[in-house]
């Protein structure tokens, strides 16, 4: 399927590894020029080389912390008129609600809610004027169903989801869409790290815990792949998806047990 985004320009945040890199790769395969954002220059360069080898588009990088104003200024200075924005940053640490003070909560809200909203603010008027914009926020299954230990993530991402619901309706008439992709458990540092956290909490061997977890709790019986995640993102960024906005799309191997 031709997604109709050849030659477009994308900012992909949190793109040196994991789900963000999966999104960047899928967009680059559609010949979208991609600016990869992450904090660590070395891993960014490795990702850039890997993605560039598979695409004729221009793949560039910037080492910046997307959760700071300075970082977002630097990103926008390099790519002031993106057609596509993928919002993503590292997730908050898992833990016990009783240990989290104002600092932990404010950090989570800044990193996983406000930063995405501020990037949307910076990009959306230009997208509307040009008559094309696709924004995808990487959130979490924890928006739909609580995950043990992930209260900071549940709270901050629920806030982003609520904010985006109204913004999305405001801009779709200009062919600018905003959707959220909700990962279940994916084969990344974060996904594997969370399973290890759960295993430790139960005093279990990590490998055995993971095997039992997927046998018991996940109909697909496995972690998702970054390639699968990236493909869903690329479709939401396509020219064909202009009638889909404000949606929360779960990619979890059927783990969430609801009908809707
Ligand atoms: P990951 O493998 O840890 O990758 C995170 C990426 O984001 C890296 O490229 C990292 O590079 C970058 N990053 C982190 N903080 C950043 C910042 N402040 N500014 C710019 N870049 C930053 O994580 P992932 O598994 O891909 O997860 C992506 C998001 O989805 C996270 O928010 C995670 O909580 C959420 N999620 C993941 C899963 C899962 O199973 N994987 C499930 C639910 C939700 P640097 O460290 O070099 O900056």
Q: Give the Å distance between the CA of 14 and the centre of ligand 1.
A: 6
**Taken in order 206, 212, 217, 222, is the CA torsion positive or negative?**
positive
Q: Give the pLDDT mean for 244-260.
A: 96
Percent residues over pLDDT 70 in the chain = 100
pLDDT by residue (tens digit) across 184-216? Answer: 999 999 999 999 999 999 999 999 999 999 999
Task: Check residue 56 and report its DSSP letter.
Answer: S
Structure confidence at residue 189 (pLDDT):
96
Distance CA 184, CA 234 (A): 18
Per-residue tokens: 12: 């992909």
Q: Mean pLDDT over residues 76-97, rounded? A: 97
The answer to whether the CB of 100 falls within 8 A of the CB of 143 is no
Atom from ligand 1 closest to the CA of residue 91: 34
Which residues make Cβ contacts (< 8 Å) with residue 72, sequence separation at least 6? Answer: 64, 66, 115, 118, 119, 122
The pLDDT of residue 186 is: 97
Asked whether residue 1 carries a pLDDT value surpassing 90, the answer given is: no
Region 145-159: mean pLDDT is 94
Collapse the DSSP code of 89 into the 3-class scheme (helix H, G, I; strand E, B; otherwise coil) and give the result.
coil
Give the model's pLDDT for residue 17. 98
For the residues 117-135, what does the mean pLDDT come to? 98
User: Nearest Cα to 213, choosing from 195, 239, 229?
Assistant: 195
Residue 96 has pLDDT above 90, yes or no: yes
Residue with tokens 């490795």: 46
Ligand 1 atom having least distance to the Cα of 92: 34
Distance CA 10, CA 82 (A): 5
In the predicted model, what is the mean pLDDT of the chain?
97
Structure tokens at 92: 């908050």
Residue whose CA is at the smallest distance from ligand 1 atom 3: 190
The residue whose CB lies within 8 Å of the most ligand 1 atoms, and thus the one to mutate among 63, 86, 91, 195, is: 91
Q: Which residues neighbour 127 within 8 Å (Cβ) at sequence distance 6 or greater?
A: 82, 83, 133, 135, 171, 174, 176
- Supply 198's token pair: 């759960």
Q: How confident is the model at residue 128 (pLDDT cuts 50, 70, 90)?
A: very high
Residues 6+ apart with CB under 8 A from 7: 31, 32, 33, 57
Q: Which residues line ligand 1 (CB under 6 A)?
A: 13-20, 37-40, 43, 65-67, 88-91, 138, 140-141, 183, 185-186, 188-191
User: pLDDT above 90 covers what percent of the chain?
Assistant: 99
By three-state DSSP, how is residue 33 classified? strand
Q: What is the mean pLDDT of residues 76-90?
A: 98
């Amino acid at each position: 399927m031709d997604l109709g985004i050849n030659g477009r320009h994308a900012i992909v945040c949190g793109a040196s590894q994991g789900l963000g890199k999966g999104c960047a790769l899928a967009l680059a395969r559609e010949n979208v020029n991609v600016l990869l954002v992450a904090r660590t220059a070395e891993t960014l360069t490795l990702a850039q080389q890997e993605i560039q080898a598979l695409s004729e588009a221009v793949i560039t990088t910037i080492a910046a912390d997307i959760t700071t104003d300075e970082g977002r200024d630097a990103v926008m200075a390099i790519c002031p008129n993106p057609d596509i924005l993928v919002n993503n940053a590292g997730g908050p640490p898992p833990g016990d609600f009783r240990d989290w003070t104002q600092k932990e909560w404010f950090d989570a809200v800044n990193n996983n809610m406000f930063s995405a909203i501020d990037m949307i603010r910076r990009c959306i008027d230009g997208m509307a004027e040009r008559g094309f914009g696709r924004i995808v926020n990487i959130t979490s299954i924890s928006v739909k169903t609580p995950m043990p230990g992930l209260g900071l993530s549940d709270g901050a991402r629920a806030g982003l989801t609520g904010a985006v619901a109204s913004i999305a309706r405001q801009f779709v008439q200009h062919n600018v869409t905003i959707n959220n992709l909700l990962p279940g458990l994916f084969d990344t540092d974060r996904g594997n790290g969370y399973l290890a956290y759960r295993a430790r909490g139960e005093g279990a061997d990590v490998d055995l815990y993971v095997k039992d977890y997927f046998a018991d709790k996940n109909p697909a019986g496995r972690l998702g792949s970054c390639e699968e995640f990236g493909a869903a993102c690329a479709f939401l960024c396509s020219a064909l998806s202009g009638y889909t906005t404000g949606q929360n799309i779960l990619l979890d191997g059927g783990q969430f047990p609801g009908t809707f």
